[in-house]
Amino acid sequence: MRKLFLLAGNLVALTAAFGLLARYVSPEVFWPPAIIALLLPGLLLLTLLFLCIQLARKRWASLIFPALVLLLSWPVVNRLLAWPTQRDPPPLDSPTVTVVTGNQRMFRHDDRTDATLEEVRNFFSGTNTDILLLQETWPRQRNKNYISAMQEGTGLEERHQRDKTLIATYADGIVGQTEYFQDSEYHGILLTDVQTELGTLRIINSHLQSNRISDMAEGISGENSLSNQLTTFGRMLAGYGRTTRQRAAQAQQIRRFVEESPYPVILGGDFNDVPSSYMYNEILSPRLQDAWVQAGTGLGTTFTGPLPGLRIDYFMVDTSLSVVSMERLSSPWSDHRPLRLVVTQ
């Protein structure tokens, strides 16, 4: 049993080390580490537990490899887990801007019933936001598009949303807008210049390529035969490699938008990947800071679907701005938790 425990512990540490490669290795070159990166918090926790047990047993030689893995993981841990810090509130007369982002899942509850207009209006009235970033939200062409309910709830009359696409930015004072979509109305990038109390800000609303985790999880549930589960799992792996490569290309595009922006940038949205990913590493240029790392506490889980514990929704904020607060909200209908950000100068 002792040898088996040692083998299992080292195997977990080795798998964690493999997942650490995800942020450095482009999925165009080698994509499997990206899958392990999804499980990295749990793998690192198990590696730490293994190290502590071996330390208590005084198995000194067996400490070397897990200790090395944990040491190498420290830069990633600082992204995966936000530490509580004491932040001085801005002066009372300092202007601030509040931004909310959230994937709305077409305003459909878990029981597949649609949210009512009153539910939508009441929810958004409680966000007290100056700028609203939405993904998977119905356009004007749909009969039940919820646009009027969101405008009434937020008080924001101006909207940036291309016809028949599902990404929208609401704000008053829009002075410029550009959009980028490729082959899908679901996934794209909106660049919206907004005049605020902090001056003109470039708001980048992004919905990067989805893994369709929920659909895949249903396919490998216990209700299906073993052969169907294995077939679905194989498709899941192949599909994940493809979508990881797509997100990497989208991240490179976003980085160019950030670097070329003449205004301070606030980037938000559903990135469909974790902080230990290549996508995250590519987007987080020297010009941006992760708002959750700056002002959040804990893992900051935003996805509440079949694979819990994932932080895949983000706010990245220009380093010329200061993050006052960052919090998660609870969505009445979506499997994503919205985020609420407050910034100042």
Residue 88 included in any domain = no
Contact 115, 109 (CB under 8 A): yes
Mean pLDDT, rounded, for 21-40: 92
Helix (H, G, I), strand (E, B) or coil at 292: helix
Q: Which residue has the higher pLDDT, 24 or 86?
A: 24
Q: What does the pLDDT read at residue 90?
A: 76
Mean pLDDT, rounded, for 36-48: 94
Q: What is the pLDDT of residues 302-337, one digit of tens each?
A: 999 887 789 999 999 999 999 999 999 999 999 999
Provide the residue count of the chain: 345
| 329 and 262 within one domain | yes
Angle at 251 between CA 248 and CA 254, to 5 degrees: 160
Q: What does the pLDDT read at residue 2?
A: 84
Q: What is the pLDDT of residues 87-116, one digit of tens each?
A: 777 777 889 999 999 999 999 999 999 999
Residue 291 included in any domain = yes
Residue 146 included in any domain = yes
Residue 120 included in any domain = yes
Tell me the C-alpha to C-alpha distance, in Å, between residue 202 and each of 92, 127, 156, 224. 25, 21, 17, 47
Distance of CA 247 to the CA centre of its chain: 12
If you average pLDDT over every residue of the chain, what do you get? 91
| 110 and 75 within one domain | no
| 76 and 40 within one domain | yes
Residue 74 included in any domain = yes
| 106 and 63 within one domain | no
Q: What does the pLDDT read at residue 231?
A: 66
Q: What is the pLDDT of residues 261-314, one digit of tens each?
A: 999 999 999 999 999 999 999 999 899 999 999 999 999 999 998 877 899 999
Structure token digits, residue 205? 């609303």
Rounded-to-integer distance, Cα 220 and Cα 266, Å: 38
Q: What does the pLDDT read at residue 284?
A: 92
Give me the domain span that covers residue 102.
Answer: 97-344
Nearest Cα residue to 138 out of 112, 115, 106, 108:
106
Q: What does the pLDDT read at residue 244?
A: 93
Query: Which residues lie across from 267 on neighbouring strands?
Result: 204, 316
| 159 and 121 within one domain | yes
Cβ neighbours, 10 Å, residue 239: 15
Residue 232 included in any domain = yes
Sheet holding 188-196, edge to edge: 174-181, 188-196, 199-207, 265-270, 313-318, 288-290
| 167 and 68 within one domain | no
Mean pLDDT, rounded, for 186-213: 94
| 74 and 36 within one domain | yes
Rounded-to-integer distance, Cα 123 and Cα 87, Å: 28
Q: What does the pLDDT read at residue 143?
A: 83
Nearest Cα residue to 195 out of 187, 206, 203:
203
Phi/psi region, residue 309 (left: phi>0; alpha: psi -120 to 50; beta: rest), is: left
Q: Which residue has the higher pLDDT, 106 or 213?
A: 106
Query: Which residues lie across from 299 on neighbouring strands?
Result: none
Which residue type does 305 have? G
Contact 259, 205 (CB under 8 A): no
Residue 38 included in any domain = yes
How far separated are the first and last CA of the chain, in Å rounded? 59
Beta pairing, strands 322-328 & 339-344: antiparallel
Rounded-to-integer distance, Cα 300 and Cα 278, Å: 19
Helix (H, G, I), strand (E, B) or coil at 130: coil
Q: What does the pLDDT read at residue 294?
A: 95
pLDDT band at 217 (very low <50, low <70, confident <90, very high): low
pLDDT band at 223 (very low <50, low <70, confident <90, very high): low
pLDDT band at 190 (very low <50, low <70, confident <90, very high): very high
- Number of structural domains (the chain) is 2
Of the chain, the percentage scoring pLDDT greater than 90 comes to 81
Q: What does the pLDDT read at residue 86?
A: 72
Q: What does the pLDDT read at residue 240?
A: 82
Q: Please tell me what DSSP assigns to residue 114.
A: B
Residue 85 included in any domain = no
Contact 13, 42 (CB under 8 A): no
CATH number of the CATH domain containing 217: 3.60.10.10
Q: What is the pLDDT of residues 229-261, one digit of tens each?
A: 566 666 666 678 889 999 999 999 999 999 999
Which of 69-78, 187-196, 207-216, 256-265 is least confident?
Answer: 207-216
Which residue type does 240 have? Y
